């Protein structure tokens, strides 16, 4: 898919362009046009299989995908994961994503909003509440920015500008290592996360960006007051590969290539965290591609399932393509419940129908 012309058409050169804004446009282009998938590491969902039930004793029309997350009602356990913002093309993508989230009752996160703290004029590229008044909407900023002058004021600003229901703090140490001039001071970050959780009036969600969260780290985050965890495991988009594609010097390109398959598989993260923390709200993201993957993620203990690049590819194509993708995704999830004899998500979780392939 070639979007370079769309990006350049909607973003004429301007003396106000910044390094961050350019990076946002490059991230979109690379994710849509280049090979940035994990190759040696997978999400882990292919290692599990549902037991087929040929007598489900259900009416398909009675299947109910509804759920609650962080106090909000959703019609399906699907999160359109954090992706983009900060450019005119990103504004189009975000508007399309929010519109489909409202139509289908899904949750949505936006990309890092650091850019609108530094360039408030770009806030409209994230502003989607007007076309999605009812959805669970998640603001987003890098946790490491708490070590670079950001605090409660900046986090409140991004939440308020988005009219968000919660704030995602994303953890991305590997991406910062590969990114040219990345922010790599993660020292004593946990106490600052804990302070923010105490002071911010909305829940704080912590996510990785595709390399996974281990159960020991999850436990530390929960003890700090984090309201939910997005495991964001390995198996989907490798941000080391994305940054390697963008790199202007040999060292950064080589770093991205060396660590292209670094991370914890999503299924492994889910199982290990749920085993030690039975109650914390969990989002499963990282390498999910279809409704069957979503069903597996829920059966392994997830409460929501997040997809990013599949939604991005559809949204970059057209509104019709995005609507079709979402409709298929939900039909796949409903079919997984029907063919395992489960009428809702709670019964799917407790059914024991998902087994490792031996």
- pLDDT for 4 equals 45
Q: What is the pLDDT of residues 303-354, one digit of tens each?
A: 999 999 999 999 999 999 999 999 999 999 999 999 999 999 999 999 999 9
Pairing of β 304-307 and β 78-80: parallel
Mean pLDDT across the stretch 163-171? 98
Is the pLDDT at 6 greater than 60? The verdict is no
Categorize the per-residue pLDDT at 27 as very low, low, confident or very high, splitting at 50, 70 and 90: confident
- pLDDT for 85 equals 86
Categorize the per-residue pLDDT at 186 as very low, low, confident or very high, splitting at 50, 70 and 90: very high
Residue 247 · residue 23 · CB < 8 Å? no
Pairing of β 67-69 and β 78-80: unpaired
Q: What is the pLDDT of residues 195-236, one digit of tens each?
A: 999 999 999 999 999 999 999 999 999 999 999 999 999 999
Mean pLDDT across the stretch 283-307? 98
- pLDDT for 21 equals 74
Residue 222 · residue 199 · CB < 8 Å? no
Is the pLDDT at 2 greater than 80? The verdict is no
Distance CA(30)–CA(334), nearest Å, equals 33
- pLDDT for 17 equals 45
Task: Enter the tokens of residue 93.
Answer: 């993508």
Mean pLDDT across the stretch 171-177? 97
Beta strands in the chain (DSSP E): 48-50, 67-69, 72-74, 78-80, 107-109, 137-142, 166-171, 204-208, 228-230, 282-285, 304-307, 354-356
- pLDDT for 191 equals 98
- pLDDT for 7 equals 42
Mean pLDDT across the stretch 114-137? 96
Distance CA(113)–CA(111), nearest Å, equals 6
- pLDDT for 300 equals 98
Distance CA(91)–CA(1), nearest Å, equals 19
**What proportion of the chain, given as a percentage, has pLDDT over 90?**
86
CATH number of 4-356: 3.20.20.70
Task: Enter the tokens of residue 12.
Answer: 């004429």
Higher pLDDT residue, 21 or 97? 97
Is the pLDDT at 13 greater than 60? The verdict is no
- pLDDT for 346 equals 98
| Entry pTM | 0.93
- pLDDT for 10 equals 40
Is the pLDDT at 35 greater than 60? The verdict is yes
Please tell me the total number of residues recorded for the chain in this structure: 358
- Across 10-24, 136-150, 182-196, least confident range: 10-24
- pLDDT for 18 equals 64
Is the pLDDT at 12 greater than 90? The verdict is no
- pLDDT for 30 equals 82
Average pLDDT, the chain: 93
Higher pLDDT residue, 357 or 34? 357
CA distances to 7, 8, 34 from 26, in Å? 9, 11, 11
Is the pLDDT at 5 greater than 60? The verdict is no
- pLDDT for 202 equals 98
Distance CA(329)–CA(335), nearest Å, equals 10
- Which residues have C-beta within 8 Å of that of residue 17, sequence separation ≥ 6? none
Categorize the per-residue pLDDT at 24 as very low, low, confident or very high, splitting at 50, 70 and 90: confident
Q: Is 325 helix (H, G, I), strand (E, B) or coil?
A: helix
Residue 24 · residue 11 · CB < 8 Å? no
């Amino acid at each position: 898919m070639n979007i370079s012309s769309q990006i350049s058409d909607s973003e004429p050169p301007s003396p106000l362009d910044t390094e961050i804004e350019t990076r946002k446009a490059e991230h979109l282009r690379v994710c849509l046009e280049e090979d940035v998938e994990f190759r040696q590491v997978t999400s882990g969902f292919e290692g599990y299989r549902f037991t087929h039930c040929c007598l489900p004793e259900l009416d398909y029309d009675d299947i109910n995908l509804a759920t609650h997350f962080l106090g909000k009602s959703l019609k399906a356990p699907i999160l359109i994961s954090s992706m983009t913002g900060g450019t005119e093309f990103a504004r189009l993508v975000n508007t399309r994503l929010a519109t489909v989230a409202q139509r289908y009752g899904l949750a949505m996160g936006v990309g890092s909003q650091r850019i609108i703290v530094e360039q408030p004029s770009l806030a409209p590229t994230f502003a989607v509440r007007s076309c999605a008044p009812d959805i669970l909407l998640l603001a987003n900023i890098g946790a490491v920015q708490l070590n670079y002058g950001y605090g409660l004021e900046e986090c409140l600003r991004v939440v308020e500008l988005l009219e968000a229901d919660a704030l995602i703090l994303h953890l991305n140490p590997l991406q910062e290592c590969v990114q040219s001039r990345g922010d790599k001071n993660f020292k004593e970050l946990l106490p600052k996360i804990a302070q923010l959780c105490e002071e911010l009036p909305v829940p704080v969600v912590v996510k990785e960006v595709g390399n996974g969260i281990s159960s020991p780290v999850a436990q530390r985050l929960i003890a700090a007051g984090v309201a939910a965890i997005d495991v964001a495991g390995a198996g989907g988009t490798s941000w080391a590969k994305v940054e390697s594609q963008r790199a202007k010097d040999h060292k950064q390109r080589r770093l991205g290539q060396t660590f292209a398959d670094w991370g914890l598989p999503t299924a492994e993260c889910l199982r290990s965290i749920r085993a030690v923390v039975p109650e914390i709200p969990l989002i499963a993201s990282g390498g999910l591609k279809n409704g069957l993957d979503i069903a597996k993620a829920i059966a392994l203990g997830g409460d929501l399932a997040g997809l990013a690049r599949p939604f991005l590819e559809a949204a970059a194509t057209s509104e019709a393509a995005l609507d079709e993708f979402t409709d298929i995704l939900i039909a796949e999830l409903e079919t997984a419940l029907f063919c395992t004899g489960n009428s809702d998500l709670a019964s799917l979780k407790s059914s024991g129908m998902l087994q490792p392939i031996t």
